[in-house]
Structures are given as C-alpha cells and as structure tokens.
Amino acid sequence: MSRTIQRRQFVKASAALATCSILPSQLRAFAPNARLRTAHVGVGGMGGADLNSVSSHAGVEVAALCDVDSNILNKAAATFPNARTFRDYREMISEMGDTIDACVVSTPDHTHAPAAMTAMNHGKPVYCQKPLTHEVFEARQLRHVAEKKGLVTQMGIQASAGLPYRRATQMIQSGVIGKVSRVLAWSYKNWGYDGPAFTDFDDVPESLDWDLWIGTTAMREYKKGVYHQRSWRKQIDFGTGTLGDMGVHIFDTPYRALALTYPTWVRTTCRQPTGAGHPEKNIVEYEFPGTQYTTDAMRWTWYDGADAPPSTDDLGVPEGVKLPSQGSLFVGEEGTMLLPHSSEPQLFPEDKFKDAARPDLEPRNHYHQWVDACMGEGETSSQFGYAGRLTEALLLGVVANRFPGRKLNWDAENLSVTNLEEANALLKRTPREGFQVAGL
C-alpha cells in the first residue's frame, strides 16, 4: 500500500476515532471510500486498455496522464479532463509527488524498467505491462526494489487471472498427470525482422517527441512503421521478439504451476544476428532444476513464427488432435495436458482422464486486484517478485538468439553466463546520457 494512502486512511481513521467512538474492526470501512489517484505512462494501444480497466474500479481517480505522442495524449485527456497531462514521465512523477498514489506503465518494452523504477524510487506502487523489462538485469532490479520497499506491484499478464489458466495450474499441482518432465510452448506470431539494418529514414511526425520515445537506448533516426507504434516489438533494442511478447503469457502457467525458478542453461536455434531485428523464427530450449511438480530436471522448448506449432509425436497427443496456434503442452509421467492459450486444458489419454476433477473457481479481475491491493485489500498474483523471475528466464532465451546454437550456462546467483563472456554484455543496457535512473 502506498504511504500516501496509508497516511490518508490513518488521518481519516484518527479523525473518526476522535469524534465518535468507532471500533477498530470498523476502520476497514474507510478503505473503500479512499480514492487511489493513478498516473499513467503510455496511454495509446494497450495503455488505453489499461487506463480503461484500472479506472473501471470505483475507487480510482485518474490524476495524471503521460504520452510522448500529443495526439494520443489529447485523446486520453478528453476522456479524463480532470487529469493533468505530461510528455515526460520523469516530470509527471516528480511534479505530481504526493498527489498521486500509484503508477501504471504501458509503454514499449524498453521503457518499462526506467519508468517503473522511477515510480518505485518515489515510493509508488506500480502496474507494469509485460514482459516486465527489456533487460535481464532490469528484471532483477525491479524485483529487488519492489520487495525491499514492500510496494504493491503487478505485471500485465491478465490471462493468468482467467479461469482456464488458473484451473490448469491447480490440476497440474494436484498431480493429475504425475511429475512433469517436459514442457513445449509455442506461438505462431512473428515479432521478428530478418531484413537488414535501415538506411533510409523519415521525418519525425509533429505530434511525437522522438527523443523521449527513444529514452534510455542509443539515439537513431526515425523510420515510419518500424518503431512507433507497435512495430518496435521486432527491433532488438526496443522489443523482445515473439518470445518476450507472447511467450510471457504462454510461459506463465507452466512456470507458475511447476514452481520453476532459474534455468540452468538455455540455447536458441535461429538465424545469425543481423544487427537489426529479432529472428523471425526461433526454437529455444531451456533446462530447469527439478521441483516438487517435476522430474529431476525439466526440459522446456519454445517455438515461434514458422517453427510453431511443434511436432508432438510420441508425447501423448493422440493422432488427429490439431494443436492450437498458440499454447503449451505438459508431458507428465501419467499423462499429457494440452493447454491452448487462454482456453480450457485437455488431458490425454482422454479415456483415462474423462472423470478427472476440474476445480470450480471464482472469476478474478486482474486490474482490480492491483487496485484493491494498493488500497490495502488482498494481494496481487503477478507481483514483481514472481514476474521478475519469469521475465528473467524468458529474456535469457532472447539473449541466446544472439548466439545461435550456443548453450548459455546460467549462474543465477551471480547473474552471469559462465561460459560466454560476450553474452554477459547483453544483460544490461548502458543508459543514454540524461536518461539514467537510480537502481538501473
């Protein structure tokens, strides 16, 4: 809970105690009346959806909006005319000070960590889009700072709140298919670019502050349709390819259900680096140490672009079952679970599992869960303590795509690739002059 909210609730509660002898157990009644004043960084694309979802909570007051594109900012401001508007999130967070309670970050991936860390350095709880960060080091740091300061946080993997993923998690943990030895996960999407680096450029649109959009990364010329909006996903310095984009949703359930931690090694099969985009198709293998839900060591393989979906011969999927275009497969000692992205799990052999228990679960609102937790009620399910570890594992696969076919051995304790020094240089960005943030 933010210190501001705590203080405001305390002040209200003290005043109430002074005027009418209210019982301590009734103090909780004040919490729903306190308003959570939110500040939003990036309000176009998914940022617009985040703004609507967060503000649909009756306890939220949208206090500040920030976007580097004035057209997008003006559109959001028309819906929230009482909110103050900014181009630069650093100015917003420092000028708004104690008049905001919490911050939502919905920018392209390369700005997640700088904006989220700036907010946390000011003691603000944060909702941050996925993947949590662009760099491995940033994922560790956000997690450490959130935990050290005890801030309420949530990463934007809303599918994890959905019934199918939560049901699959419980079923796996109940041991329905026994201990799991392999996971396959895939997405047909292609957030890669195999072409050469760009040599011709365009004028920056008048509405866009290109310097702020580039942020911590090295400055370069603008090119229409390559960066702002959405396409930045394909570019190494800004996005995290299909693995970071869709993988984070699809990895979440197996990672959570199997209580995985850090991989011991990772290896990507893809084309050689071009200096521009992420590869258009990748096969990424991981090995994780065993947990109570897995065999001694757990092998995990990710497929994207034209390499998805994978072949599942001999993995317990009956002939004739068509794999979905995105999803995962758990191979257990007693059977196989197919989990299409955001859909109900299927168990094989079907006959064996026709009476398998499917837990009844209450719906959960992923955004309201964060708002409620900021206001002192309950906890978030994808806080940075979890999201940081998940993102770190994913991003190691993204780093490995710069060294096709090489196995990177991971020393999680020392945040280091032990057998390839060049890979260590890719774990942490050197921020551009003027964009350094304490802690990153």
Ligand X SMILES: NC(=O)c1ccc[n+]([C@@H]2O[C@H](COP(=O)([O-])OP(=O)(O)OC[C@H]3O[C@@H](n4cnc5c(N)ncnc54)[C@H](O)[C@@H]3O)[C@@H](O)[C@H]2O)c1
Cβ closest to ligand X, residue 240 vs residue 294: 240
Tokens representing 283 are 């096969």
Cβ closest to ligand X, residue 211 vs residue 334: 211
Sheet (strand 60-66) strand order: 84-86, 60-66, 36-41, 102-105, 126-128, 153-155
State the CB neighbour count (10 A cutoff) for residue 346: 18
Report the candidate in 251, 248, 239, 132 with the shortest Cα–Cα distance to residue 191: 239
Measured from the CB of residue 66, what is the shortest distance to ligand X in angstroms?
5
Name the H helices within 187-240: 210-214
Measured from the CB of residue 122, what is the shortest distance to ligand X in angstroms?
16
Cβ closest to ligand X, residue 93 vs residue 298: 93
- Rounded CA separation 186/108 (Å): 22
Instruction: Report whether 126 contacts 102 (CB < 8 A).
Output: yes
Instruction: Report whether 348 contacts 335 (CB < 8 A).
Output: yes
Tokens representing 13 are 């509660």
Q: Name the burial class of residue 45, with classes exposed (0-12), middle (13-18) and buried (19+) by CB atoms within 10 angstroms of its CB.
A: middle
Hey, what amino acid is at 342?
A: S
Report the candidate in 219, 182, 208 with the shortest Cα–Cα distance to residue 72: 208
Measured from the CB of residue 127, what is the shortest distance to ligand X in angstroms?
11
Tokens representing 49 are 């959806």
Cβ closest to ligand X, residue 239 vs residue 335: 239
Measured from the CB of residue 103, what is the shortest distance to ligand X in angstroms?
12
- Rounded CA separation 217/59 (Å): 36
What residues make contact with ligand X under the rule CB under 6 A? 41-47, 66-69, 72, 89, 106-109, 111, 129-130, 156, 158, 212-213, 215, 228-230, 245
Cβ closest to ligand X, residue 104 vs residue 338: 104
Measured from the CB of residue 315, what is the shortest distance to ligand X in angstroms?
28
Measured from the CB of residue 208, what is the shortest distance to ligand X in angstroms?
7
Measured from the CB of residue 25, what is the shortest distance to ligand X in angstroms?
38
State the CB neighbour count (10 A cutoff) for residue 134: 26
* Element (DSSP H or E) covering residue 265: strand 265-269
Cβ closest to ligand X, residue 136 vs residue 408: 136
SS3 391: helix
Instruction: Report whether 234 contacts 277 (CB < 8 A).
Output: yes
Cβ closest to ligand X, residue 150 vs residue 434: 434
Nearest position to ligand X, beta carbon: 45
Measured from the CB of residue 370, what is the shortest distance to ligand X in angstroms?
13
Measured from the CB of residue 171, what is the shortest distance to ligand X in angstroms?
24
Cβ closest to ligand X, residue 127 vs residue 348: 127
Which residues touch 242 (CB under 8 Å, ≥6 apart)? Answer: 187, 189, 190, 191, 192, 278, 282, 304, 305
Measured from the CB of residue 51, what is the shortest distance to ligand X in angstroms?
11
* Cis preceding-peptide flag for 229 (omega within 30 of 0): yes
- Rounded CA separation 211/233 (Å): 18
Cβ closest to ligand X, residue 108 vs residue 241: 108
Cβ closest to ligand X, residue 26 vs residue 436: 436
